[in-house]
C-alpha cells in the first residue's frame, strides 16, 4: 500500500521508520542533556536521577508537575510543604527541537520537488502520535520523592547555617533564620518532597509543543518540499524564518561559550556548566525581548532571589510593584545598555541574512527591501511573543508547621506578550528593510536563495551552465582553428582570415564551430588545396566555326 501525495508517495514502512528516527533521537538528546545537567548540579545526591530526568524532559516539552511534601517532627504530622513550579528547562527543549525538526524535514526531501498536503499531514500526524506515546511513558516514570533529614533542614540540634538543596536550582540559602526560636530545637525531623507528572495537562502541552516545532521546522527548512500553491511561503516567509532561527541558535551557542569560560574561574565549575546546559536558552531568550525594549513584570522573595542574575535580583527584590524595563535596569547598572546594542546588531544580522536568502526575482532595490521588511516583520512579530511565553517563570515554596508559615520563597516573571508582538513587527520590518538595502548595495541580494518547485532542477542546471560559462569564457575566436603551440599565429595559415578564392564561395567557413570538410579536388589536374588556381585557356580566335571552314 502506498499513500500518494504531490511527490512519489510514501510507504507505511518508510513513514514509520522516519517517525521513529525523529522522535527517538529527539528524546535521547533531551534525556541526555537533562541527566547531565542534573548530575552536574548535584541533584542526584538527593534523589534518583532517572525520575528527575523524566520529569525534566516532561517540563521541557510543555508538561506539568504536581509537587507535594510532608514534614514529621516528634511524631506529629501537622506540618506540610507546598510548592509550585512552572518553568521549562529550555536547554533540554532546544536540543530535542533541533533534532526532531532536522530529521523530519530531511525525510521530506524524498517526496520530490513538491509534496501533497495530505501526505505532509500524515507524516506530521505520525510523528505527533509517536511523540505523545513516548511522553506518556515518561509521565508514568516521572514520579519520585526526595527525603531530607532534620540536619539538612536545620530543624535538628545541629547548628550553624543549614542549607537546603533543590534539584535543578541548587543551594537556596539559610532557612533557619526564619524560624522562631522555639522551633530551632526540634529533633528527629524529616521532610519528604515528592513530585509527580500530571498526565493529562502534560500530554496536551506536549502535543502543542511538537506541533509548533514541526511548523517552525517546515517553515525554516528552505530545501524541504511544500505542497503546490504554497510557494509564496517558500519565497517570502522561509528566508526570514530560517535566518531568525539560525541567529537565535547562534546566540544560545555564544551563551554556552560564555558559561564555559565563566566556569574556568568559578569555585564550583560543575554547577555553572550544569546550569548552562539546562538554562542557557532561558537566559538568552529572556535577554532578547528585554534588549528589544519589551517590558516584564515580576516579583521575587526569599532565597529564590539568589538564582537571578544581577541587577535583576535587586530590582525584583526592591521594586516588586514596578515593571522591569531596560531603563530601570540601567539605573542600577549602566552596562545594561550594551544589551540593547547587542540585540540591535543581532536583528541587523538577521535582516542581512534574510536578504541574502530571499529570491530577487528581478525586483528593484526598493521593492526587494520592502519584500524583506514584510517577511521579517511577520516572522519577528510571531517569534518574540513565543520567546516571552517560553521564558516565563513561576516558582514558590512555603513551609508550614502546626499552621504557622515559617518559610516562604517565591519567584514570578512574565513578559508583556502584546507589547512583544508590536515591537517584534517594528524591529523585524526595520531590520528587513535595512538588510535588503545593504545586500543590494553589496551585490549579495538573493545569492543564497534556494530555487524550489517543479522547475527547480531545470533552473538550477541553467544557473550552473551560466556560471560555468562566465567562469570559463572561450579562449579564442569561434571555430576549429587553433594555432600550434610554440608557433606564432599567421593570417595566411588561418583559413578564417585568408581571402576566399572564386571556387570557395560555397564552402565558406561558418560560426558553428564544426570543422569544414576538405574541398574537392578538381578533375584532371594536380591542384592542391591552398595553391594558386590554374590558368584559364585562351579564348578561341575570331572567325567562322571549324566545321564551316
In angstroms, the Cα distances linking 166 to 132, 138, 169 are 29, 21, 5
Chain segment 471-480, per-residue pLDDT in tens? 455 444 445 5
Least trusted range by pLDDT, from 100-109, 429-438, 455-464:
455-464
Q: What is the pLDDT of residue 471?
A: 46
pLDDT category of residue 460 using cuts at 50, 70 and 90: very low
Between 31 and 510, where is the model more confident? 31
pLDDT at residue 42 above 60? yes
* Residue for grid cell 525523529: 22
Between 384 and 470, where is the model more confident? 384
pLDDT at residue 294 above 90? yes
Cα gap 447→438, rounded to integer Å = 13
Q: What is the pLDDT of residue 73?
A: 41
Cα gap 167→329, rounded to integer Å = 29
By residue count, the chain amounts to: 549
Residues 6+ apart with CB under 8 A from 313: 300, 305, 306
Cα gap 164→60, rounded to integer Å = 24
Mean pLDDT across the stretch 505-523? 54
Mean pLDDT across the stretch 47-72? 76
Mean pLDDT across the stretch 525-535? 56
Going across the sheet that includes 143-149, the strands are: 143-149, 190-197, 65-73, 76-86, 393-401, 404-415, 296-301
Cα gap 290→331, rounded to integer Å = 15
Q: What is the pLDDT of residue 303?
A: 58
Cα gap 166→169, rounded to integer Å = 5
The neighbour count for residue 205, using CB atoms within 10 Å, is: 19
Q: What is the pLDDT of residue 68?
A: 62
Q: What is the pLDDT of residue 360?
A: 86
pLDDT at residue 246 above 60? yes
Q: Is 26 in contact with 99 (CB distance < 8 Å)?
A: yes
Between 359 and 467, where is the model more confident? 359
- Cell numbers representing residue 362 in the block: 528581478
Selection from 275, 251, 241, 273 nearest residue 260 by Cα: 273
Q: What is the pLDDT of residue 88?
A: 85
In angstroms, the Cα distances linking 12 to 7, 15, 19, 116 are 15, 5, 10, 16
On the 0-12 / 13-18 / 19+ scale of CB atoms within 10 A, 422 is middle
Q: Is 279 in contact with 308 (CB distance < 8 Å)?
A: no
Q: What is the pLDDT of residue 469?
A: 46
Least trusted range by pLDDT, from 435-444, 488-497, 532-541:
488-497
Selection from 278, 276, 296 nearest residue 287 by Cα: 296
Cα gap 7→227, rounded to integer Å = 9
Beta-bridged to residue 83, according to DSSP, are 397
Cα gap 164→481, rounded to integer Å = 90
pLDDT at residue 323 above 50? yes
Q: What is the pLDDT of residue 251?
A: 94
pLDDT category of residue 491 using cuts at 50, 70 and 90: low
- Helix 337-357 vs helix 238-264: crossing angle, to nearest 10: 140
pLDDT at residue 214 above 90? yes
pLDDT at residue 208 above 60? yes
- Cell numbers representing residue 104 in the block: 523530519
- Cell numbers representing residue 420 in the block: 512583544
pLDDT category of residue 64 using cuts at 50, 70 and 90: confident
DSSP for 143-205, please give it: EEEEEEEHHHHT-SS--S----EETTTEE----GGGS-GGGTT--S-EEEEEEEE-HHHHHHH
Q: Is 130 in contact with 19 (CB distance < 8 Å)?
A: yes
pLDDT at residue 82 above 70? no
Amino acid at each position: 500500500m502506498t499513500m500518494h501525495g504531490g511527490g512519489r508517495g510514501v510507504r507505511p514502512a518508510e513513514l514509520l521508520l522516519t517517525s521513529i528516527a525523529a522522535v527517538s533521537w529527539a528524546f535521547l538528546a533531551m534525556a541526555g542533556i537533562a541527566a547531565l545537567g542534573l548530575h552536574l548540579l548535584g541533584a542526584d545526591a538527593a534523589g534518583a536521577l532517572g525520575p528527575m530526568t523524566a520529569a525534566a524532559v516532561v517540563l521541557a516539552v510543555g508538561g506539568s508537575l504536581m509537587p507535594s511534601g510532608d514534614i514529621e517532627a516528634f511524631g506529629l504530622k501537622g506540618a506540610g510543604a507546598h510548592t509550585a513550579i512552572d518553568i521549562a528547562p529550555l536547554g533540554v527543549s532546544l536540543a530535542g527541537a533541533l533534532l526532531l525538526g532536522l530529521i523530519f524535514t530531511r525525510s521530506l526531501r524524498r517526496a520530490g520537488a513538491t509534496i501533497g498536503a495530505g501526505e505532509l499531514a500524515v507524516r506530521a500526524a505520525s510523528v505527533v502520535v509517536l511523540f505523545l506515546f513516548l511522553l506518556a511513558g515518561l509521565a508514568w516514570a516521572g514520579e519520585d520523592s526526595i527525603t531530607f533529614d532534620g540536619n539538612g533542614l536545620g530543624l535538628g540540634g545541629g547548628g550553624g547555617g543549614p542549607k537546603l538543596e533543590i534539584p535543578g536550582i541548587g543551594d537556596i540559602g539559610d532557612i533557619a533564620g526564619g524560624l522562631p526560636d522555639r522551633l530551632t530545637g526540634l529533633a528527629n525531623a524529616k521532610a519528604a518532597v515528592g513530585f509527580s507528572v500530571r498526565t493529562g495537562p502534560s500530554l496536551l502541552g506536549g502535543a502543542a509543543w511538537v506541533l509548533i516545532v514541526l511548523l517552525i521546522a517546515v517553515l525554516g527548512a528552505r530545501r524541504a518540499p511544500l505542497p503546490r500553491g504554497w510557494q509564496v511561503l517558500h519565497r517570502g516567509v522561509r528566508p526570514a524564518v530560517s535566518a531568525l532561527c539560525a541567529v537565535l541558535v547562534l546566540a544560545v551557542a555564544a551563551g554556552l561559550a560564555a558559561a564555559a569560560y565563566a566556569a574556568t574561574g568559578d569555585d564550583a565549575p560543575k554547577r555553572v556548566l550544569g546550569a548552562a546546559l539546562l538554562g542557557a536558552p532561558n537566559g538568552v531568550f529572556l535577554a532578547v525581548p528585554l534588549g528589544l525594549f519589551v517590558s516584564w513584570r515580576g516579583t521575587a522573595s526569599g532565597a529564590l532571589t539568589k538564582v537571578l542574575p544581577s541587577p535583576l535580583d535587586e530590582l525584583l527584590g526592591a521594586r516588586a510593584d514596578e515593571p522591569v524595563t531596560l531603563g530601570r535596569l540601567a539605573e542600577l547598572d549602566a552596562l545594561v545598555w550594551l544589551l540593547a546594542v547587542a540585540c540591535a546588531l543581532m536583528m541587523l544580522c538577521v535582516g542581512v541574512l534574510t536578504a541574502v536568502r530571499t529570491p530577487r526575482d528581478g525586483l528593484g532595490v526598493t521593492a526587494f527591501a520592502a519584500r524583506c521588511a514584510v517577511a521579517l516583520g511577520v516572522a519577528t512579530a510571531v517569534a518574540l511573543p513565543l520567546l516571552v511565553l517560553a521564558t516565563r517563570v513561576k516558582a514558590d515554596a512555603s513551609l508550614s508547621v502546626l499552621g504557622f508559615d515559617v518559610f516562604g520563597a517565591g519567584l514570578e516573571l512574565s513578559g508583556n506578550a502584546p507589547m512583544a508582538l508590536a515591537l517584534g513587527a517594528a524591529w523585524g520590518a526595520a531590520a528587513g528593510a535595512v538588510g535588503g538595502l545593504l545586500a543590494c548595495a553589496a551585490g549579495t541580494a538573493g545569492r543564497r536563495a534556494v530555487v524550489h518547485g517543479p522547475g527547480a532542477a531545470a533552473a538550477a542546471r541553467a544557473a550552473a551552465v551560466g556560471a560555468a560559462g562566465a567562469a570559463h569564457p572561450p579562449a579564442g575566436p569561434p571555430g576549429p582553428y587553433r594555432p600550434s603551440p610554440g608557433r606564432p599565429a599567421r593570417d595566411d595559415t588561418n583559413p578564417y582570415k585568408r581571402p576566399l578564392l572564386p571556387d570557395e564561395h560555397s564552402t565558406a567557413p561558418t560560426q558553428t564551430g564544426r570543422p569544414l570538410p576538405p574541398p574537392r579536388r578538381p578533375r584532371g589536374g594536380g591542384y592542391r588545396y591552398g595553391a594558386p588556381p590554374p590558368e584559364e585557356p585562351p579564348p578561341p580566335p575570331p572567325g567562322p566555326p571549324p566545321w564551316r571552314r
